[in-house]
Structure 1
Amino acid sequence: MFVLPHSRGSSHGQTRIIRKAYEENVYIQMMQESYELWAQLEEEAGVELYRRTGLLVMGPENSEGFSCLQATMQSHKIPRVVLEKQEFRQHIPNVNLTDGNGALIDTNAGVLYADRALRAVQRLFQSSEGVIKDGEKVIDITPGAVVTVTTGSGVYRGRSLVITAGPWANRLLTHTGLQLPLKVVKINVCYWKEKIPGTYSVSQRFPCFIQMEPKEGEYDIYGLPSNEYPGLMKVCYHMGSETEPDERDKQTDRGDIDILMRYITRCLPGLVPVPAVVETCMYTVTPDHHFVLDSHPTYGNIIIGAGFSGHGFKFGPIIGKVLSQLAMGQVPSHDLSPFGIRRFQSHARSSL
């Protein structure tokens, strides 16, 4: 629909967190290979795509989520450092650890350079005689043994079709008679000025961080060291307000920014607690915040990747691999049952 590169979806911007610090076994297993594939892409493209910074995870010490995270990382032997309260300030200056919180560091986590990665993938794809048809709006999809895709500029046919349309997934799936329980939310991507430049910078080895939610119904806060905007640290709330993808500029709710301002005042005293820059992106969220990686329930040659819920970018290479395996009729190299459409049977709607 848009001419590349563009900032209207969910994958733009300069940085994302890459980590193995997950509560779920399946994500850690997928990330093991994803790290390898990112390194392979980096080597083939000849461009730095990953910078190791470590990831500081803070959360209520006795909560189920934080305890599960520690146990899962331990069982998978993920390199980590547990920070005791008395040594926290020594290792992580300029961060106030909330009372009752524990802290650990995923030592191999870091920053992915997102825009740079997308350019590298597109360039390598084209160098392998791949053709990118950007700026074309899909008008119709006709299922069948041969799938036909009609756009504003042409008609394309193939034995299989992979749909990864982000916030517009349900709009395209309408043509196949399927609607998934996907919610599109607008995220305010906030950058906060350092009172003393360099306090929270990559060059000073400040880590990425995740503050796990303290209460039911609340969401994580995450941050990346100052990098893309010198002197500004990226700190965001991991949820936003529901919107239509083409109407997101009309969504002006700033409730998430109010939450961040209070958090920064309390826990990140080296930042000015008013955002210096506010950008936007969109999350496409499933009810359980897990991905959709599956074949269409009626048309097995239509493959769907959707609902990445704000944490899918780091999985990009392995998601591409398993979707291509599904499209070619191969057995996926990872267990995709947690990402199946059947889990939404009471929500997913079929009209054909």
Structure 2
Amino acid sequence: MRRLRVMVIGAGAFGGWTALRLGRLGAEVTLVDSWGPGHARASSGGETRVLRRSYPEGDFVRLADRARLLWLEEERRSGLRLFEPIGVLWMSTAPGEFERRSMENLEAHGVPFERLDPSEIARRYPQLRSDDMYGGFFEPGAGYLRASAACRAVRDALVAEGGCYLQAWCEPGEIRSGELSGLTLPDGSTRAADRYVFAGGPWLAGQFGERLGISLRVTRQEVFVFGTPRGDDRFGPGRLPVWAWLGDRFWYGIPGEGSVGGFKVADDTRGPSFDPTSADRIPSADGLERVRNFLADRFPGMAGAPLVDAAVCQYTEAPGGRFLADRLPGTSNAWVSGGGSGHGFKHGPAIGEYLASLVIGDREPGTDRAFSTVEEIRTPR
């Protein structure tokens, strides 16, 4: 029997894991990306991403829990270190719904966590200013993922297991009798398969325009990495977990960032609209000043720390943060997925598992509440 031929466009967290899962289910898979897995413009690019199961929505707790198991399984299979389980500390100055519902969901799903009062936070993490805190909680099984390295590892696993990888920009061909006819490459040549998956992140909505008829707003986000004081290990991963601060803004950070071993800090507040292809990626002076003020206030030992790296990335927003996973309207052989909404990377293996089940026909779109269909988020006309 001839193997099912599938082309997956986009080698980030959604597309790469979908391609790998389909290959392991017996499909003949070609993964395509314009600039490479985890490239500098990609939503899945950069050194690190947080892996947490703390969510006020139970569906995301479940999905993240499944994804974490699949990350660990892939580590064992590949022998690569993709996940650093140093925990995540959540903090706030006032009781809030996010914390309350997240802890309820963690408890309901059997995910270990610890409630911490300000005195315990101060005892464990004296490098943090905690005198104004209401409290927080600690998720010990959380941590951070090696983002772009993981995207490359997934691509390499696909190829090692018999799949193909093609680095090229491609355009979807015509839709004839309810089927996508193929892909067109820049040299005018075409590629055809039995089924197609488009997981182009911030490029997805623009790729299909009116056919999708949905709004997936792309926002500009800034990330800063600061050098830690010489001879001072208080701000490294041995002394500090991944952390998240819920206040007027939602700040988060990762110690020991990348090859520079820096202190990563980012503001999760949604920025202005952003063009992922043509826009410059130079962080703003206002953003740098804001993050320096936050650091000096919350991590006094990092006041005046040198900036050693910075980047501009993007979020692709879907309503309610639920990921798009559906057939391309008007087709029976093409699927679309996107809307990572700033939290999609960690879920990649579980998203790939779900998308692959749609493509091979084991499930139908709309059967998992962590995902949206096109109809659910379609822009009113």
TM-score (norm 2): 0.82
Amino acid at match of 1:45: S
* Contact in 2 for aligned 1:194/1:233 (Cα 8 Å): yes
Q: Which runs of 5+ in 2 are unaligned?
A: 1-32
* Contact in 2 for aligned 1:186/1:283 (Cα 8 Å): yes
Amino acid at match of 1:206: L
For 1:198, the equivalent position in structure 2 comes to 233
Pair 207,28 (structure 1): closer, same or farther in 2 beyond 3 Å? same
Match of 1:303 among 329, 335, 341: 335
For 2:348, the equivalent position in structure 1 comes to 316
Q: How many angstroms apart in 1 are the aligned matches of 2:105 and 2:315?
A: 26
Q: How many angstroms apart in 1 are the aligned matches of 2:366 and 2:52?
A: 18
Confirm or deny that 1:59 pairs with 2:89: no
Confirm or deny that 1:226 pairs with 2:256: yes
For 1:43, the equivalent position in structure 2 comes to 76
User: Residues 231-284 of structure 1: CA distance to partner in whole angstroms, max 9, x if unpaired?
Assistant: 520010113332111222077644443332221111011213463321222211
For 1:103, the equivalent position in structure 2 comes to 136
Q: How many angstroms apart in 1 are the aligned matches of 2:143 and 2:216?
A: 29
* Contact in 1 for aligned 2:227/2:261 (Cα 8 Å): yes
Pair 333,161 (structure 1): closer, same or farther in 2 beyond 3 Å? closer
Pair 146,231 (structure 1): closer, same or farther in 2 beyond 3 Å? closer
For 2:290, the equivalent position in structure 1 comes to 259
Match of 1:180 among 208, 214, 224: 214
For 2:303, the equivalent position in structure 1 comes to 272
**How many pairs are equivalent?**
341
TM-score (norm 1): 0.89
User: Residues 292-349 of structure 1: CA distance to partner in whole angstroms, max 9, x if unpaired?
Assistant: 122234324321111101111111111111111111121169942442223324x266
Q: How many angstroms apart in 2 are the aligned matches of 1:230 and 1:138?
A: 35
* Contact in 2 for aligned 1:53/1:107 (Cα 8 Å): yes
Q: Which runs of 5+ in 1 are unaligned?
A: none
Confirm or deny that 1:150 pairs with 2:181: no
Confirm or deny that 1:236 pairs with 2:266: yes
Pair 316,250 (structure 1): closer, same or farther in 2 beyond 3 Å? closer
Q: CA deviation at 1:110?
A: 0.9
Amino acid at match of 1:222: Y
For 1:288, the equivalent position in structure 2 comes to 320
Of the structure 1 ranges 290-299 and 107-116, higher mean CA displacement relative to structure 2 is found in 290-299
Q: Secondary structure at the match of 1:97?
A: coil
Pair 342,155 (structure 1): closer, same or farther in 2 beyond 3 Å? same
Please show how residues 157-168 of structure 1 align to structure 2 within 5 Å.
157-168=192-203
Q: How many angstroms apart in 2 are the aligned matches of 1:266 and 1:250?
A: 27
* Contact in 2 for aligned 1:23/1:68 (Cα 8 Å): yes
Match of 1:189 among 199, 219, 223: 223
Of the structure 1 ranges 278-287 and 302-311, higher mean CA displacement relative to structure 2 is found in 278-287
RMSD: 2.3
Q: CA deviation at 1:45?
A: 1.2
Please show how residues 4-23 of structure 1 align to structure 2 within 5 Å.
4-5=36-37, 6-23=39-56
Match of 1:248 among 279, 291, 298: 279
Match of 1:207 among 237, 241, 252: 241
